[in-house]
Structure 1
Amino acid sequence: MRPLALILALALPIAATAQQHPDTPRKLVLIDQDGSGPGGSNQMSMLLLLQSPNIQVLGITMVTGNAWRDEEAQHTLRMLELTHHTDIPLSLGAVFPLIRTQQETKLEAPLVGNVDWLGAWGGGPTNLSSTGAPERLPAGQSVIYQKTHGPYEVPPLPEGAPTLKPIAEDGIHFLIRQVHAHPHQVTIFACGPMTDIALAIRTDPQFAELTQGIVLMGGSLNPQTNDPEFTETPRHEFNFWFDPEAASIVLRAPWPRPEDKYPGIGVVVTTVDISLKASYTQAMVDALAKSSSPAAQYLAKFSEERYYMWDEITAAALIDPTLITKERQVYMDVDINHGPEYGNTLTWTDQFHPQTGVQKVHAQLDLDLPRFEKLFLDLMTQSASQ
């Protein structure tokens, strides 16, 4: 593997020159997301890419994760309307994980212990904002258990129902078709469970190698925090946990690397370790509220969640890789044994990794926080780029 400097060298020419030369081609990106809403980390990360003049979003696919797929899709379609990005196609992906089930997880809990966040399956410590959107409680606050609904039920949306509709093509084939239409040019942005990407890989063996690589939010190494969600379970992270088999398939796929015939970025992973270093604050909300930008107004009104900026870091680092100040190159996989560690992150060094097809990833560990916050506010307060 080449060092981070080479990865940055591959990405920087586009990012550095896009504003100087408007005709410079933008980086092509496919978004796969669990778009719970309104507002929140899922929607804000998509908006960062949509607002960036250096990024061309080819489309969005929805996968169940923090909420059920159909509800997420309605929130995302409404976000596209309210922020003036109605030309972006949205396609419906997987409703359920490959193997893990809600019932199995419920039955296992008395034996292996509960987890902090169950996403669409409810039962995690949440609170309800004034918009009705579930949000995780800060450490130390009492737990209110979220009530969930069925996979195809869409409750009334606080932000109003969209008039936009998903495209007819399913998310898996949409991803495959777009990658084949733009061979060796598309970067996959995956910030939910990896079900859709794994299904695309299994459906089309060429899918991964025809991309520029993948950036994803997932995994946890050794986060330095007093947050009880991670102090006793430092290798637990929701996106990997919700569909462990899918995450393992994605991490083992042949994503293009800098040294390949068609160079790519490989696998870039935004871990819990770095996510805990950036929080969405009231000061950010106040700054957004002063802007007339449709994106800023949408977030000022609906992004009441005060929590870590999980997916926003992934998006910002795709736009500007130099925001990342520390990374660790490790072989990474996910525990798929159905026991207490099911879904936990596994890593190895060069010396100790197994000979079973595991791949090396770039695990992000730290960032330039002031520059990240500035980029976030700058992009959200400008007019739509698409």
Structure 2
Amino acid sequence: MTKVQSFAVVCALLCSLAGVRPSASQTASSAGSQQLAILDTDIGDDIDDAFALALVLHSPEIKLLGIETAFGDTELRARLVDRYLKAVGRTDIPVLAGKATPHNNVFTQAAYAEREPAHKHKDGVQFLLDQVKAHPGQVTLIAIGPLVNVGEAIRRDPATFKKLKRVVMMGGSVYRGYGNGRPPEPEWNIKLDPEGAKLLFGAGVPITMMPLDSTQIPLDQAERDRLFSFGSPLTDQLTLLYHQWATLTKTATPTLFDPVAAAYTIRPELCPAKPLRIEVDDKGMTKPIDGQPNANVCVESDAKGFVDFLVGRITAAK
């Protein structure tokens, strides 16, 4: 053992004896380390969840413990994920159905999901709590859908939920609403379950928040062509799902809200975050207020760097 290695071991031992936990950046930079993560997603409505899942699957920095579906018909969403994972050879990843809710959403990718045989999926909320118990202080929850499962997990077992390493979420509107020049407004993931959001921001868990301010990044034609012509099993699934979404919504250019949160877990420098205190109201507004910060919030991201990273990572050799 070298002197440097000996020094590192002694430092780690002293930190352990002192009860000091290493920072997220220190943990991520450990040789050979992988972040344990669970993806909570409302995949099947907008197309950005499918891109977020592709990024996570092609990122060796992340060990994906499971994927739980959120909001609405969570069983049909889980069937979509089943087919997606089967097509890319990742049936080793558990797929769980979160708490089903009444909904009037347009499931744009239902045709893709319905081709996968139905079966009863296990409870995603209980899976989340069980994984946190098994890996206290180590699990990152990547939450890119309405916070239904999050709120339910906190109600069931707040003490266990608090043992998450962190929550990285897409949601909220701090200084900017949808589109250009619009003031803050209720954002989809928050307004569909404001109570779940209130519980999360009061749970005492480290939160990194990617609101509308930093996530309205388009995937333009040139980058879409680069992805869809790549011809891998992963990009083939994105191509199928994209065309179903584009046909039903009559939209060509996706906005990559959710992949920004996924990217942050791997490359946080793409979306520098600052501490803020966020208050959630009954309508789903997420207001910055005075007081002790309860989240790190990214209000401006490196859009070009993000798109380059996303497309490069998804089209990279595995």
Residues in 2 aligned to 1:294 and 1:76: alpha-carbon distance in whole angstroms: 14
Tell me how far apart the structure 1 counterparts of residues 114 and 268 of structure 2 sit (CA, whole Å). Answer: 36
**Partner of residue 236, structure 1:** 186
What residue is the counterpart of 2:91 in the other structure? Answer: 86
Deviations 1:55-98 (A, max 9, x none): 0000011111xx532222222211112222211111111112xx
- Given that residues 30 and 187 in structure 1 are in contact (C-alpha distance below 8 angstroms), is that contact kept between their aligned partners in structure 2? yes
Contact 2:80–2:112 (Cα < 8 Å) also in 1: no
The answer for the alignment partner of 1:43 in structure 2 is 50
1:120-159, Cα deviation, whole Å (9 max, x unpaired): 414xxx8xxxxx937xxxxxxxxxxxxxxxxxxxx5x247
C-alpha offsets along residues 104-130 of structure 1, whole Å, 9 cap, x if unaligned? xxxxxxxxxxxxxxxx414xxx8xxxx
Q: What residue is the counterpart of 1:280 in the other structure?
A: 219
Could you tell me how far apart the structure 2 residues matched to 1:243 and 1:171 are? 17
Q: Which runs of 5+ in 2 are unaligned?
A: 1-21, 247-252
| Equivalent runs, 1:150-299 vs 2, <5 Å | 157-158=111-112, 161-163=115-117, 165=119, 167=121, 169-223=122-176, 226-227=179-180, 231=182, 234-255=184-205, 266-276=206-216, 278-299=217-238
Gaps of 5+ in 1: 1-8, 97-101, 103-119, 127-131, 135-154, 256-265, 337-341, 354-358
Q: CA RMSD in A?
A: 2.5
Q: Indicate the percent of aligned positions where both proteins have the same amino acid.
A: 26
Is the alpha carbon distance of 1:173 and 1:370 closer, same or farther for their aligned partners in structure 2, counting shifts above 3 Å?
same
Cα contact 1:292–1:381 (8 A) shared by 2: no
The question of whether the paired residues in 2 share the 8 Å contact of 1:331 and 1:361 is answered with yes
Q: Post-superposition shift, 1:249?
A: 0.3
Residue 259 (structure 2) pairs with residue 312 (structure 1): yes
Contact 1:294 1:383 in 2 (8 A): no
Q: Distance in 2 between matches of 1:248 and 1:224?
A: 20
Q: Which of 285, 289, 292 is equivalent to 1:344?
A: 285
Match of 1:364 among 293, 298, 305: 298
What is the match of residue 104 of structure 2? 121
Match of 2:40 in 1: 32
8 Å contact kept, 1:293–1:382: no
Query: Which amino acid in 1 is paired with 2:182?
Result: T
The residue that corresponds to 1:4 in the other structure is none
Q: TM-score, normalised by structure 2?
A: 0.82
Q: What amino acid is the match of 2:198?
A: S
Q: Which structure is higher in helix share?
A: 2
Structure 1 residue matching 2:276: 3-state secondary structure: strand
Shift of 1:14: 5.5
Compared with structure 1, are the counterparts of its residues 121 and 360 closer, same or farther at alpha carbon in structure 2 (3 Å cutoff)?
Answer: same
